[in-house]
Chains A and B, each alone.
Chain A
């Protein structure tokens, strides 16, 4: 999982490959539960970039309208193509990422 911040965020989401961003915070229990699921998916889906952005102290979450965490956003060449809010199972998350 690449650690994202205000400096590297745009470059990350504009990549040719699909990019998955985990909006999280340290105070959020469900975020901690979904983190290892994303790490597993990162190993399985080699064609997808995985990154995480700590919403605490970042304006990016505000820009993308994130008001609930965990929020998982899937980007394709800079555009948001899928958003998922809350704790979901690994299978469900995989389907969201692969747009099934």
Chain B
């Protein structure tokens, strides 16, 4: 039996594994996809204390190597269900594990528009820095109003001929410094109070419909409309808010004793690399206390 099982090998989950391993706990990390979490999609990270500039991939990889050097066991299995009790059980797609305490750090995934499936990889992309170069000299659109959308727009405005930014409201949600910079680019046009209502194209995307009203011709549509948690499989025993985030305060304690939550999947105001790492440390410390008290 493990002392603590961590569900998710993103920044929060891996950080908690460092604290737990250094406290000599017997732990397992379960990851259903690939380690690193959402940060691997960031081309540059410049707001993590002590590191002036790094790519998201490098950051995730450094953390992964740090965790492996400590001897943390990671298994690539999808956690499907938790059974609560004095001894807790986790059912995965391959196995069943027992432990004294659980840290849920499942993170978030990119929110979809819901109408784009047919064109994913054929004009629709969620990663401007990955795919921007396929649209060199072409017209593209970005949907979203936050920092990711703004950074994508800046990146694409240097590659593409024309960049439309489609935002639902009359205001951007991102940082002023980015907004000012993006508005100074001549090839950027902002469509305020606008929604993408349909996508057209024979094989690849050719045009998008705005507000059920008019079409604009674009070769690419980059989607940056935020992120969504995926905690449905835990909702029978863990309290989750209406948006799907696991309810907990800064102490990372869920409604169940010995089950903690860390990182982007928790109810919180600020989802950043530094707050994910912080949650990881707090959840681990609480789990250490909980497991220690059980002896």
Q: Which residues of A contact B (CB under 8 A)?
A: 25, 27-34, 37, 55-56, 61, 65-71, 83, 85-91
Query: Known: A67-B134, A89-B33. Is A28-B127 also a contact (CB below 8 A)?
Result: yes
Q: Which of A32, A56, A68, A89 contacts B131 (CB 8 A)?
A: A68
- Do A29 and B43 touch across chains, with their CB atoms under 8 A apart? yes
- Do B127 and A30 touch across chains, with their CB atoms under 8 A apart? yes
Q: Chain B nearest CB: distance from A15 CB in Å?
A: 25
Query: Known: A37-B34, A68-B131, A87-B34. Is A29-B125 also a contact (CB below 8 A)?
Result: no
- Do A30 and B204 touch across chains, with their CB atoms under 8 A apart? no
- Do B33 and A29 touch across chains, with their CB atoms under 8 A apart? no
A70 to B44, CA, bound (A): 19
A29-B57, A70-B130 are known contacts; what are 6 more A-B pairs with Cβ within 8 Å? A27-B130, A32-B61, A68-B121, A88-B33, A89-B34, A89-B76
Query: Known: A33-B57, A67-B125, A89-B32. Is A27-B131 also a contact (CB below 8 A)?
Result: no
Sample of 7 A–B contacts (CB below 8 Å): A27-B133, A29-B42, A29-B55, A33-B57, A37-B34, A65-B122, A70-B130
Query: Known: A67-B122, A85-B121, A89-B76. Is A33-B131 also a contact (CB below 8 A)?
Result: no
- Do B40 and A30 touch across chains, with their CB atoms under 8 A apart? yes
Q: Chain A nearest CB: distance from B55 CB in Å?
A: 6
Nearest residue in B to A88 (C-beta to C-beta)? B33
Does B123 count as interface, using CB distance less than 8 angstroms?
yes
Q: Which residues of B contact A37 (CB under 8 A)?
A: 34
- Do B34 and A28 touch across chains, with their CB atoms under 8 A apart? no
- CB < 8 Å A-B pair total: 82
Q: Which residues of B contact A88 (CB under 8 A)?
A: 33-34
Q: Which of B56-81 contact A (CB under 8 A)?
A: 56-57, 60-61, 76
B: number of interface residues (CB 8 Å): 32
Nearest residue in B to A83 (C-beta to C-beta)? B121
Does B120 count as interface, using CB distance less than 8 angstroms?
yes
Query: Known: A34-B34, A88-B33, A89-B34. Is A68-B57 also a contact (CB below 8 A)?
Result: no
A87 to B126, CA, bound (A): 11
A18 to B55, CA, bound (A): 34
Q: Which residues of A contact B121 (CB under 8 A)?
A: 66-68, 71, 83, 85-86
Does B41 count as interface, using CB distance less than 8 angstroms?
yes
Does B129 count as interface, using CB distance less than 8 angstroms?
yes
- Do A68 and B125 touch across chains, with their CB atoms under 8 A apart? yes
Q: Which residues of A contact B32 (CB under 8 A)?
A: 89
Q: Which residues of B contact A71 (CB under 8 A)?
A: 121
A30 to B134, CA, bound (A): 16
Q: Which residues of B contact A69 (CB under 8 A)?
A: 130-131
Nearest residue in B to A61 (C-beta to C-beta)? B134
Does B8 count as interface, using CB distance less than 8 angstroms?
no
